[in-house]
Chain A
């Protein structure tokens, strides 16, 4: 006997993600899901972001990694609330893992929650966690062919941060080609080139965040 279902396989995750989103909106929290390959600079970006937004926005971070609490320790050193989630092998965060992380946080004391996903260019794109926006970070050392190789990640993101631009003179990276390819996949993508080392371009990123989040305690 055949049974008709017609259902999204990830429906269960989407239900939890929607519940997370409802919780975020009740508390007026803006949530970004930061995705990128290992070594693209996700945690360093967070550190630079925290330094610049501290005192202006109340930040909190959920760190997703397969193993270790190293990223959470780096964030905690900046004195903001952070929860480390070890996925124990899973290559992405899902709605349920993030929900578990939220239980350890004071949601009333957060304006901007940053979810740093597991370093991976494929899997996180398929799993919503309840975020407002997906932000992707790529770096010039990874090569300019990544948009064509990992299109889904570029397609689902709203903002693309192109990191390590201070290294452009030292690597064969065609920035023009990279941006053209990324926009072919996602014509509405906002691309912000920056360097977390020199600080170049960070103002634009910080402005982008400030425009979308309320002032501290407001």
Chain B
């Protein structure tokens, strides 16, 4: 359900940016969403379509890249991509691991319609 809150924040960012470009319509938005984040891409698309209605970002396509959950083991000094969110080194079973990626909730870029 919090996809609506996320969509609203996203809308504020893109509308603010579009207004700096003479209010050009927003056509595409590239997002990066971490594997461990609790945002469901389809729910976010649905929510964004709803909150952007009648505005300059209405109809914008959300291009969502899922960012893998990546950790680094301090003992092994190696990085691993995890499918399950178990913060344990798959190699040495140590718990001294740090999160490299997987929590992202980012807007990377956006496309606005070219003027005239």
Determine if chain A interacts with chain B: yes
| Interface residues in chain A, defined as those with a beta carbon under 8 Å from any beta carbon in chain B | 1-13, 90-92, 94, 122-123, 125-127, 148, 151-152, 155, 183-188
Report B-chain residues with C-beta under 8 Å of the C-beta of A127.
2, 5
The answer to whether A3 touches B95 (Cβ under 8 A) is no
Q: In the complex the two chains form, what is the Cα distance from A74 to B106 in whole Å?
A: 39
The answer to whether B108 touches A8 (Cβ under 8 A) is no
A89 to chain B, nearest CB (A): 8
Main secondary structure of the interface of B (DSSP, over half): mixed
The answer to whether A187 touches B88 (Cβ under 8 A) is yes
List the 8 shortest-distance A-B pairs measured between CB atoms, nearest first: A187-B95, A123-B2, A184-B86, A151-B85, A91-B1, A9-B105, A122-B38, A4-B109
What is the total of A-B residue contacts with beta carbons within 8 Å?
Answer: 96
Q: In the complex the two chains form, what is the Cα distance from A185 to B1 in whole Å?
A: 23
B81 to chain A, nearest CB (A): 16
User: How many residues in B have their beta carbons less than 8 Å from beta carbons of A?
Assistant: 33
- CB interface residues, B 33-77, toward A, < 8 Å: 36-39
| Interface residues in chain B, defined as those with a beta carbon under 8 Å from any beta carbon in chain A | 1-2, 4-6, 9-10, 12-13, 17, 21, 24, 31, 36-39, 84-88, 95, 97, 105-112, 114
With A3-B17, A155-B87 known to touch, is A9 a contact of B114 (CB < 8 Å)? Answer: no
B111 to chain A, nearest CB (A): 5
Report A-chain residues with C-beta under 8 Å of the C-beta of B114.
1
Q: Which residue of chain A has the shortest Cβ distance to B11 in the bound complex?
A: A9
